[in-house]
Amino acid sequence: MSSLLIAQAGGPSCALNATLKGVIEEAKKHSKIDKIYGALGGAGGILDKNLVDLGNQSQRFYELLSSTPASVIGTSRRPLFEDDFQSIIKTLKELNVEYFFYNGGNGSMATCNKLFQALKEDIKIIGIPKTIDNDIAVIDHCPGFGSAARYMAVTTSEIAQDIAAMPIHVCIVEAMGRNAGWITAASALANKSGKGPHLIYVPERPFIKEQFLSEVEKMFKEMGGVLVVVSEGITDEKGRPIVPPMIVPGSKDPYVGDVAVYLAQEVFTKLGIKARSEKPGIALRASVTHQSVVDIEEARRLGALAVKSAVEGKTGYMVGIKRVSSCPYLTEDILVPLSQVATIEQKLPDRYINEKGNGITKEFLDYCSPLVGELPEFAGDYLVI
Amino acid sequence: MSSLLIAQAGGPSCALNATLKGVIEEAKKHSKIDKIYGALGGAGGILDKNLVDLGNQSQRFYELLSSTPASVIGTSRRPLFEDDFQSIIKTLKELNVEYFFYNGGNGSMATCNKLFQALKEDIKIIGIPKTIDNDIAVIDHCPGFGSAARYMAVTTSEIAQDIAAMPIHVCIVEAMGRNAGWITAASALANKSGKGPHLIYVPERPFIKEQFLSEVEKMFKEMGGVLVVVSEGITDEKGRPIVPPMIVPGSKDPYVGDVAVYLAQEVFTKLGIKARSEKPGIALRASVTHQSVVDIEEARRLGALAVKSAVEGKTGYMVGIKRVSSCPYLTEDILVPLSQVATIEQKLPDRYINEKGNGITKEFLDYCSPLVGELPEFAGDYLVI
């Protein structure tokens, strides 16, 4: 008999628990797995032996798991040092863990790879991708992204209806994704009826404030309400954040942000046009209300695939999805060596960004649409005047 | 034969179109109404004779109406002057309008009352309440509020799951409602499992920054992640906004806001604790995804009631809802003289705010809960460790 242990790392998503469900369901099919451990609060849960038995929970717990946002076992951004790796390995062996799963982003895949290098065949180690940012290399897309993209597309389409109904201001929506513009780009799906977003700025292109102001001014004169979506991470030509980070003596991390607030103030003070900003922030990654059906199904499937692969003796891989076609949407599940994805950041390719750097191409919409699912239709588009 | 005309005013809600649907459906039942006019873009649509025939739209238009946010005919904040009233009356008579409906907040009910005073029995005039802010007097609550409250409660409960899964920072959510704390208070419904919101600040009580910082610091030391909800309109002991409005020469309105950003920066710089802010903003009032079933049903019913009442010869009233009991939720539809609601602002009563001024009482939860409906349950609350 042997044990399985899963830990999560990095910012939550609303597909993380679906992956956990897939892991639990598959593990229960294998009689040689007699314990399904979950590390509470990320890798720290292994270090502190703070674990939970995921195989013996109530029916209600399992029923609610996929539609619960964030992480029921908790996650963390705690950095791991050399000593920590030795402690983790010791604990895994003490617990008779034969299968270890680490569910996180590209940084976590590096951690996972390091453990694999240290343990080789002793313990089967599989990484499971998770990030709303969609910035993991090799794979087509990552569990968590589809739902974040759906949130962005649906919410932007709803805001667009509001702006169109009372077109008196410039509205600037800030999207998550500091280095990669995938989530920001997903807002482009909302613009089916020309109601916006009218301008979209991703961090892959330099943001020229003067150009932005002149574009906004021109559009506002033409049509009244203007809807803009910007990534929280846009930078200028020299790669500097648009809003300088606030550094506090004694604090490790600076206070970063709020670029939409700053740009709304710029529109108001420089152009004399009413402006406001919206920043759903964490609501975006925590919204089960906006879960994408495809995303949740894939998250669950990859959790199960990780267990299946480990039981078959595979180790040192990350499970992932390869796209076969967009229309119809067809995919293949794949295993990628951890070394190929560790710490590599996958940004939005050039072909998805328009030439002016203020919008998204149709090619991206074709890519993103099946991950997001159908968007709501609105009566205004059928109004005959 | 006679005509009906409806216009909307003020900020959109996601129940405005449901009211419109109620008006149209009821109007179609009365054979003496041969035209159902909608004013495009608020009262300005009457002044500019910019109208739409709402009685002759496609089946798809009617099907989608209630689940479309904002307003399909558009609304506005355009102020009306003495001359405008005369023009409106002239146009209503030209169009053979016998029934006029104005759908808006307490300011719009004043406009409606002024038209009633001028027209008396010539044209039947009925106001229909609409505001996410829930600040109209006499009535128990207002169409649009239930859905905004549901957005706030659901979204806060989802954010609370995220904070609990990675409790590393103070998260400050900004809620709409500049003078009245109804929407902010609705976030309290989220706190079923102690995951927050932990502190709630409404504009009805002075906001003492030093007290806020000390409360946040104490809580963060005890539990890590702290979830705070603040109204966009909180003011200090002297009634001054926490963030001074930005005035631009030549601009009529100042730039107001962003109190959550400011408070997050204060937490970070003064306490050295990681902090972030979220501001759903317009997403809150435009979200059909979070429509409350009760709210939409009531919005539609009041639209129909307005038409029924006018056809029966009533004029000079606003339709509204009176509560009979909360559990079970029972209400009565009422007619309130427009003079009793015009421009009066209904704030959150004292009994709904806790003594410390940093939270909401159970009495408010009992009031608000039936308007919002069931909230999602999460697996974490069933996890046995």
> pLDDT at position A119, please?
87
Lookup result for tokens 């539809």: B333
> pLDDT at position A79, please?
87
Which chain B positions have a beta carbon within 8 Å of A14's beta carbon? 158
Task: With CB atoms and an 8 Å threshold, state whether A383 touches B253.
Answer: no
Test the B interface: residue of A68, A168, A266, A377 with most B CBs within 10 Å: A68
Helices vs strands, H then E, count in chain A: 12, 11
Stretches where chain B sits below pLDDT 70 are none
Which chain B positions have a beta carbon within 8 Å of A272's beta carbon? 248, 250-251
**C-alpha to C-alpha distance for B381 and B193, rounded to whole angstroms:** 7
**Shortest Cα distance, chain A CAs vs residue B306, angstroms:** 22
Test the B interface: residue of A13, A187, A382, A385 with most B CBs within 10 Å: A382
Catalytic member of B133, B258, B295, B350: B133
- B154 to A37, A176, A221, B190, B280: CA distances (angstroms): 30, 20, 37, 7, 12
Structure tokens at B354: 């806790």
Task: With CB atoms and an 8 Å threshold, state whether B166 touches A12.
Answer: yes
Task: Give the torsion through C-alpha atoms of A329, A335, A337, A340, to 10 deg.
Answer: 0
- Each residue of B21-34: pLDDT tens digit? 999 999 999 999 99
Task: With CB atoms and an 8 Å threshold, state whether A163 touches B282.
Answer: yes
Pick A248's closest partner by Cβ from B246, B268, B282: B268
Chain CA centroid to CA B243, Å: 23
**C-alpha to C-alpha distance for B107 and A88, rounded to whole angstroms:** 64
> pLDDT at position B121, please?
74
> pLDDT at position A49, please?
96
Pick B382's closest partner by Cβ from A60, A164, A280: A60
Task: With CB atoms and an 8 Å threshold, state whether B70 touches A162.
Answer: yes
Say yes or no: ipTM exceeds 0.95. yes
Task: With CB atoms and an 8 Å threshold, state whether A158 touches B288.
Answer: yes
Test the B interface: residue of A51, A256, A372, A378 with most B CBs within 10 Å: A378
Test the A interface: residue of B156, B246, B296, B383 with most A CBs within 10 Å: B383
> pLDDT at position B163, please?
97
Task: With CB atoms and an 8 Å threshold, state whether A155 touches B287.
Answer: yes
* Residues of A labelled catalytic: 133
Strand runs labelled E in chain A = 2-8, 33-39, 51-53, 97-104, 124-129, 170-175, 199-201, 226-231, 275-278, 317-325, 330-337
The dihedral built from the CA positions of residue B274, B280, B284 and B290, taken in this order, carries a sign that is negative
**Shortest Cα distance, chain B CAs vs residue A79, angstroms:** 13
The dihedral built from the CA positions of residue B31, B37, B42 and B47, taken in this order, carries a sign that is negative
| Pairing of β B97-104 and β B124-129 | parallel
**C-alpha to C-alpha distance for B88 and B86, rounded to whole angstroms:** 5
The DSSP-derived string for A2-32 is EEEEEEE-SS--SSHHHHHHHHHHHHHT-TT
Pick A166's closest partner by Cβ from B74, B277, B384: B74
Which chain B positions have a beta carbon within 8 Å of A276's beta carbon? 257, 281-282
Task: With CB atoms and an 8 Å threshold, state whether A248 touches B257.
Answer: no
Task: With CB atoms and an 8 Å threshold, state whether A289 touches B154.
Answer: yes
> pLDDT at position A192, please?
84
Task: With CB atoms and an 8 Å threshold, state whether B278 touches A280.
Answer: yes
pTM passes above 0.90: yes
Could you check whether the bond before residue B203 is cis, i.e. omega within 30 degrees of 0? no
**Shortest Cα distance, chain B CAs vs residue A282, angstroms:** 6
| pLDDT tens by residue, chain A, 385 residues | 899 999 999 999 999 999 999 999 999 999 999 999 999 999 999 999 999 999 999 999 999 999 999 999 999 988 899 999 999 999 999 999 999 999 999 999 999 999 999 987 789 999 999 999 999 999 999 999 999 999 999 999 999 999 999 998 999 999 999 999 999 999 999 998 899 999 999 999 999 999 999 999 999 999 999 999 999 999 999 999 999 888 887 777 888 879 999 999 999 999 999 999 999 999 999 999 999 999 999 999 999 999 999 999 999 999 999 999 999 999 999 999 999 999 899 999 999 999 999 999 999 999 999 999 999 999 999 999 9
